[in-house]
Chain A
Amino acid sequence: QKEVEQDPGPLSVPEGAIVSLNCTYSNSAFQYFMWYRQYSRKGPELLMYTYSSGNKEDGRFTAQVDKSSKYISLFIRDSQPSDSATYLCAMKKTSYDKVIFGPGTSLSVIP
Chain B
Amino acid sequence: GAVVSQHPSWVICKSGTSVKIECRSLDFQATTMFWYRQFPKQSLMLMATSNEGSKATYEQGVEKDKFLINHASLTLSTLTVTSAHPEDSSFYICSALSRGANTDTQYFGPGTRLTVL
A-B pairs with beta carbons under 8 Å apart, 21 shown: A8-B41, A41-B113, A43-B110, A43-B111, A44-B108, A46-B105, A46-B106, A46-B108, A51-B103, A88-B44, A96-B97, A96-B99, A98-B46, A98-B49, A99-B34, A101-B43, A101-B44, A102-B43, A103-B42, A103-B43, A106-B41
Beyond the given pairs A44-B108, A46-B106, A106-B41, 10 more chain A to chain B contacts, judged by CB atoms under 8 angstroms and listed by A's residue number, are: A32-B103, A41-B91, A43-B6, A43-B110, A49-B103, A96-B32, A98-B34, A98-B49, A99-B46, A101-B44
Given contacts A98-B34, A101-B44, contact A43 B103 (CB under 8 A): no
Residues of B within 8 A of A43 (CB): 4, 6, 93, 95, 108-111
Q: Is B28 an interface residue (CB 8 A)?
A: no
Q: Is B65 an interface residue (CB 8 A)?
A: no
Contact A96 B44 (CB under 8 A): no
Q: Is the interface of B mostly helix, strand, loop or mixed?
A: strand
Residues of A within 8 A of B41 (CB): 8, 106
Q: Is A45 an interface residue (CB 8 A)?
A: yes
| Contact pick for A49, options B46, B49, B105, CB 8 Å | B105
Show the binding face of B for A, using Cβ within 8 Å. 1, 4, 6, 32, 34, 41-44, 46, 49, 91, 93, 95, 97, 99, 103-111, 113
